[in-house]
Amino acid sequence: MVAAKSKTLDKPKVLARLLKLLKKEFGGQPKREQLPVLEAMVFSACLENSSYEAADAAFGRLKGDFFDWNEVRVSTISELEPVFEGVHEPEWCAMRVRYLLYYVFDHQFSYDFDGIKKKSFDLAFKQVSKIKHLTPFCRNYLLQKCLGSHVIPVDDKMIRTAIWLGLVPVGADEDSGAELLKSFIRKAEAAEFLWLLKSLSVSRHGESILEMSPIGDHPDLEFDLGDAEERLNDVLSGRARKRLQSARRTAEKKAEEEQAVKAAEKEARKQATAKAKAKAEKAAAKTDTSKSTAEKRTTDKSPPATKKKTAVKSATKKKTAVKKKTVVKKKTAVKSSTTAKKKTAVKKKTR
């Protein structure tokens, strides 16, 4: 929900009213068993962006299905992944737990990490920050639950919920958001705040909130803390969800209409293309027919010329034959005359 900038408010008082509403919806924080440091870190990996119920189930399977932490450490990600079914991103959760166990064993040669409790906050923070793939949520969960430090563990869903409530500005991440929340949440309230904000972020109401609180920085978007109580009441009552569903249906209907228009335009373009193609083919066929007709006419006119040529050739042949006959006759006459003369001369001699 986009809102105007709020006036200067007493954040602790507004927060107290918000927590009262959330406590009424989700109940107070249940008492939980104090876990050793290593187990608390493993549990935090299961809890990130997931509900307490899902985290408890995954943590129970992890301890029940494997002989000890060493067996978990040497297992592959694909072998561990089924154990984390039901939590957010099981594969990443399995990888974080595995890297955590590798780090602890490589530095302690055991799985006892309780020695970190004796260190100062700065040294403990520095050490756990070296663990590969350990998220700010897991780090702050360890520091709050095991060292009693005044830190606020928030994961991605929790920080987006806090943004929607107006507790932190749009664009805040797990690190910067945790620091901002720490500035007005008392140490005594930190554990209860974690329980209630986590419960809201992973509930069915949280789904509506996350839909209204997009990931990333949006400079044009701002949530006013001044009307956070009203908006939270709206969400918890289900009115906001109904509006979202109505808006979603409207958007889906609009998208379907746009899709139908695009499909109609595409079909019209397709028909126009087919029509143009048919027209071009018809024109090409007409051109081919005209050429064929022209060629046929040319062929029909060609025989008389051929006949003329044939007649000329025949006349020429006849003339040649006549000439040959005349020459032959002349030659024959000359020959006969010569023979007769010779015979006459012979007779004279004989006398």
pLDDT digits (tens, 9 = 90+) for 12-58: 999 999 999 999 999 999 999 899 999 999 999 999 999 999 999 99
60 compared with 313, residue with greater pLDDT: 60
Banded model confidence at residue 6, pLDDT cuts 50, 70, 90: very low
Q: What is the pTM of this model?
A: 0.69
Residue type, 239: R
User: Rounded CA gap, 49 and 198, in Å?
Assistant: 8
Residue-wise pLDDT for 99-117, tens only, equals 999 999 999 899 999 999 9
> Average pLDDT for residues 282-301, to the nearest whole number?
72
Query: Residue 151: enclosing H or E segment and its boundaries?
Result: none
The pLDDT score that the predictor gives to residue 148 is 94
Check whether 246 has a pLDDT greater than 80.
Answer: no
CATH code: domain 18-237 is 1.10.340.30
Token pair for 60? 């129970």
User: Rounded CA gap, 286 and 273, in Å?
Assistant: 20
> Average pLDDT for residues 159-182, to the nearest whole number?
94
Core vs surface per residue 328-350: b (16+ CB within 10 A) or e? eeeeeeeeeeeeeeeeeeeeeee
Banded model confidence at residue 339, pLDDT cuts 50, 70, 90: low
> Average pLDDT for residues 257-277, to the nearest whole number?
86
User: Rounded CA gap, 198 and 283, in Å?
Assistant: 73
Q: Are 225 and 167 in contact (CB under 8 A)?
A: yes
Banded model confidence at residue 247, pLDDT cuts 50, 70, 90: low
The string of DSSP letters for 302-328 reads HHHHHHHHHHHHHHHHHHHHHHHHHHH
The pLDDT score that the predictor gives to residue 264 is 85
**Widest Cα–Cα separation across the chain:** 181
User: Rounded CA gap, 334 and 330, in Å?
Assistant: 6
The pLDDT score that the predictor gives to residue 346 is 57
From first CA to last CA, the distance across the chain in angstroms is: 160
Check whether 81 has a pLDDT greater than 80.
Answer: yes
Banded model confidence at residue 174, pLDDT cuts 50, 70, 90: very high
Core vs surface per residue 307-327: b (16+ CB within 10 A) or e? eeeeeeeeeeeeeeeeeeeee
Q: Where are the alpha helices (DSSP H) in 118-238?
A: 121-128, 136-145, 156-165, 174-182, 187-201, 204-212, 228-237
The pLDDT score that the predictor gives to residue 3 is 42
For the chain, give the mean pLDDT: 84
Check whether 122 has a pLDDT greater than 90.
Answer: yes
Sequence spans of domains, the chain: 18-237, 257-312
The pLDDT score that the predictor gives to residue 274 is 87
Q: Using alpha carbons only, how large is the chain's radius of gyration in Å? A: 51
User: Rounded CA gap, 81 and 79, in Å?
Assistant: 6
Instruction: Count how many residues are written for the chain.
Output: 351
In order of 327, 330, 348, the CA distances from 341 in angstroms are 21, 17, 11
Check whether 268 has a pLDDT greater than 90.
Answer: no
Q: Which of 53, 17, 67 is nearest to 202 (CA)?
A: 53
Q: Is 41 left (phi over 0), alpha (psi -120 to 50) or beta?
A: alpha
Token pair for 113? 């990490």
The pLDDT score that the predictor gives to residue 2 is 44
Distant-in-sequence, close-in-space partners of 179: CB < 8 Å, separation ≥ 6: none
User: Rounded CA gap, 36 and 115, in Å?
Assistant: 10
User: Rounded CA gap, 37 and 346, in Å?
Assistant: 162
Token pair for 99? 């890297």
Angle at 143 between CA 60 and CA 121, to 5 degrees: 155
User: Rounded CA gap, 80 and 62, in Å?
Assistant: 8
Query: CB 227: neighbour CB atoms within 10 A?
Result: 15
Check whether 303 has a pLDDT greater than 80.
Answer: no
Backbone CA torsion sign across 234, 238, 240, 242: negative
Q: Are 70 and 179 in contact (CB under 8 A)?
A: no
